[in-house]
Amino acid sequence: MRELAREVFLVFRRGRGFPLSLLLLAGAAALFWIALQATGTFTVNGEPVDLDESARVALAIGLGVRAVSFLILLFLLFHGAGLVLGDAETGRAAFSLSAPISRARYLAGRSAGVLLVVLLFWAAALVLFEILLFSRTGSLRAEIAAGAAVIVLAQALLLGVLVLFRLFLGGGWGAMGALLVWIASAVLSLDLLESSLFAVDVPENVAPWWLPILQPFLGGEPIGWKADLVRAFVRLFPPIGNATSVGIDLALGRPVFPSFDWWSLPGAAVWGGLVWWGSIRLFRRRDW
Amino acid sequence: MSGGGIVWRSVSKSFGALPALVDLDLSVERGEVFGFLGPNGAGKTTAIRIAASLARPDRGEVLLAGVPASRAESRRAVGYLPEDLLFPSGLRLGEWARVQIRLRGRDLSRLPHAAERAGLSNRMDGELAAFSKGMRRRAGLLLLLALEPAIWLLDEPTADLDIAGREMIENAIIEAKGKGATVFLSSHILSEVERVCDRVGVIEKGRLTRAAPPADLLPAPFLVDLVLPALPEQPAALLGGRPHVANREARRLRVFVSDRGEGNEVVRALEEGGFPPRETVFRPASLRDALGEVSR
C-alpha cells in the first residue's frame, strides 16, 4: 500500500498538478498576506472599523483557511480522483492490478497517496501562514493546525465521494455530481440556513413520545421536534461543508458554533465509511 | 521458481450481447508452455485477463496453482504481460520496477541482472513515457525476469518487437519452462508458437475448437504448394479427399501429404484432371499452413 501511495506521489510530483498546486499555494499565501494587511484599513461609510489586533488576525486566518480548503477542493475535483483511478481506467495500472493485492488495498493505497499530497499542501500552507503571522504579529497560532486537521477529514470524505461518483457516472459527470454534493453540504452547513430552519418551533407538549430518547444524540438544547428532525437531517447529510466549518472555527480559535456542529465529525466518519465501502464494491466488480 | 498450472473451468464472458468466451474448459499443466491462437476478437485476451484477475467471468472460474484467480494470494505466482503495455505517467523505469517488485513482496536483488538481460540496464533512469512500444515490452520482460513468476501470462508478447527482442522473449520463455514455470501465451506469430509451445489451442468466436501439440494439429507432416492456371470447382474430388487449403484469388492450392511420393501423386492427379500446376513446391508443413485461415 505504501508503494502505491508513493507511486501516486511521484506521478503527482512529475505531472502538471504540481506546478499548478504551487501556484494555488502562492495564491492562498498572497490572499492571507493581503487580508492581514487590509483588515487594519477596513472602513464603513468612510469611518474606520474598530477591529482589535486579534480580530484582524482571526479574519485573515479565516480567509486564508477558506482559500486553502477551496483550492484543495479544486485540486480534488480536477486531479485527485484521476490520480486514484486514472491509471486503472486507462489500462496503465494493469501490472499493479495483477499483483497479489486486493482491490480494496489498491484503492486505499492510491487514495492515501492523494491524501498525502493534500496533507503536504496543507502543511506548506500552514508553514507559510505561520511565517506571515509571525512577521506581522510576532506570535504563532497553533489553532490553525487543529482546524486544518479537521478539514482534512472533510476532504477525505469528498475524495471518497469523488471516487464513488467517478466509478458510477464516469469522469466529468462524476466530478459534477461530487461538486453538487459539496455545494449542497456547504449550503446546509450555513449557520443562517440552520437558524431559519430551526426557528420552526413546536410546543413540547405536542412532541412525539420518542423525541426524549433521541434528544441526547441530536445535541444542543431541544428546539421543537420538527426543528430537531431538520437538524438531524442536516447532520446526516454528507457533512463535508459542516466538517469544514468546524475546522475553520477551530482554526480561528473560537468556540465551534453552533455547538452541535461537532456532530458533523462522527457524521463525516460514518459517511466516509459508507462512501468508501461503496467505492470498493464498485471497483471490485468492474473489469480493468 | 515452482508452482502449479492454470485451469479455466467452464468460463464464459460476454461484453453486452457479444460473447467473448463460451464455456472455456482448459487445463495447462505445470511446466507446460501453451500457445493460444485465434483471430482478433476470438477471446484470447479475455481468457488471459480473467486469469490475471483484471476481468470477472460471467460464469465459471480460473484456478492458478489450485487457487481461484479472484483471490489476491493466487496472483502471488503470476507474472502478466499485457498486449498493450502502458505505464503510470511520470514514472522512471527503475522507480516503476521497484514499486512493482515490492508490491509483490519480493526483494530487489534480481533487478540489476534482469535489467541487463532485457538490455535496459542503461535506461533505468529513463522516463517510461518516452519509451517506444518495443522498449515498453522489454520493460515488461525485465519485470518478469526480476520476479521469476511460477505462472507467466503473456498476451502477444512479441508483437511490435524487432528480431533481437523476439529472440530475447523466446529465450526467456524457454528458460522459464526449464525452471518449471507454466507459460500461457497468445500470439498471431505461428512460427514462434511452433518453436516454443508444448501445446497449442485454437479459439474461434470464444470457443476452444482444438488443443493439441503443434505437430498433432497438422493434417500431415509435408505439403505440396501449387499454383494452378485455375482452381477446380471441387478440389477434394481430384485430391482424393486429402486435406488442403485453397486460395481462389491466388489460384493457389496447398495439399497436405505424408511424403514426397504422395506429393507426386497429387501433381499427377491434377494434371490428369486438366489443372497442370504452374509452380510446385514440396516442403515440411507448418502451423501457418494448417491454421493460417484462423490466424489471419
C-alpha cell at A270: 460514518
CB contact under 8 A, B73 and A102: no
Q: Where are the alpha helices (DSSP H) in chain B?
A: 44-51, 93-103, 111-117, 133-147, 163-178, 190-196, 235-238, 260-272, 287-295
What topology does CATH give the domain B218-291?
Alpha-Beta Plaits (3.30.70)
Does the beta-carbon distance from A99 to B75 stay under 8 Å? yes
Structure-model confidence comparison of residues A97 and A49, the more confident one: A97
How many CB pairs lie under 8 A apart between chains A and B? 83
Confidence tier at A148 by pLDDT (50, 70, 90): confident
User: What number is the ipTM of this complex?
Assistant: 0.78
Which helix H or strand E contains A38, and what residues bound it?
helix A17-38
Q: How many residues does chain A have?
A: 288
Domain ranges (residues) in chain B: 6-215, 218-291
Per-residue model confidence as pLDDT tens digits over A23-52? 888 888 888 888 877 766 655 566 666 667
Q: CA nearest B189: which of B40, B47, B295, B49?
A: B295
Please check whether residue B17 touches A, CB under 8 A. Answer: no
The pLDDT of residue B42: 86
Question: Can you give the pTM of this predicted structure?
Answer: 0.79
Find out whether A94 and B54 touch, Cβ atoms under 8 Å.
Answer: yes
The vertex-B270 CA angle with B269 and B276, nearest 5°, equals: 135
Closest Cβ–Cβ partner in A11, A91, A95 for B89: A11
The residue type found at A69 is S
Instruction: Encode pLDDT of B168-183 as tens digits.
Output: 999 999 999 999 999 9
> Closest chain B residue to A84 measured between Cα atoms?
B88
Please identify among residues 55-114 of chain B the ones whose CB lies closer than 8 Å to any CB of chain A: 55-56, 72-76, 78, 80, 82, 84-91, 95-96, 99-100, 102-105
Nearest to A10 among B72, B95, B105 (CB): B95
The alpha carbon dihedral of B203, B208, B214, B215 has a sign of negative
Confidence of residue A77 (pLDDT cuts 50, 70, 90): confident
**What secondary structure does DSSP assign to B226-265, as a single string?**
EE-SS--SSHHHHTTT--EEEETTTTEEEEEESSHHHHHH
Measured in degrees and rounded to the nearest 5, phi and psi for residue A249 equal: -55, -45
* Rounded (5°) CA angle A10-A16-A20: 110
Best CA proximity match to A83, nearest among A147, A154, A12: A12
CB atoms within 10 A of CB A192: 7
126-185 of B, contacting A, C-beta below 8 A: 140, 143, 153
A215 has pLDDT over 60: no
CB spacing of B72 vs A96 below 8 angstroms:
no
Strands B151-155 and B199-204: unpaired
Cβ pair B82:A285 closer than 8 A = no
Range among A62-76, A134-148, B131-145 with highest mean pLDDT value: B131-145
Q: Which residues in chain B have their CB less than 8 angstroms from residue A105's CB?
A: 72
CA distance B209 to A188: 62
CB B235 within 8 A of CB B244: yes
Neighbour-count burial of A258, counting CB atoms closer than 10 A to its CB (0-12 exposed, 13-18 middle, 19+ buried): middle
Locus of grid cell 498546486: A21
Grid cell of A110 as nine digits: 492510491
If phi > 0 it is left, if psi is from -120 to 50 it is alpha, else beta; for residue B16 that is left
| pLDDT above 80 for A98 | yes
Calculate mean pLDDT across residues A151-168: 86
Higher pLDDT, A17 or B254: B254
At B39, phi and psi to the nearest 5? -70, 170
Using CA atoms, how far residue A278 sits from A109, A170, A282, B46, in Å, is 17, 15, 6, 26
Query: Which class does domain B6-215 fall in?
Result: alpha beta
Quick one: pLDDT at residue A154? 85
Instruction: Tell me the C-alpha distance between B133 and A13, whole Å.
Output: 25
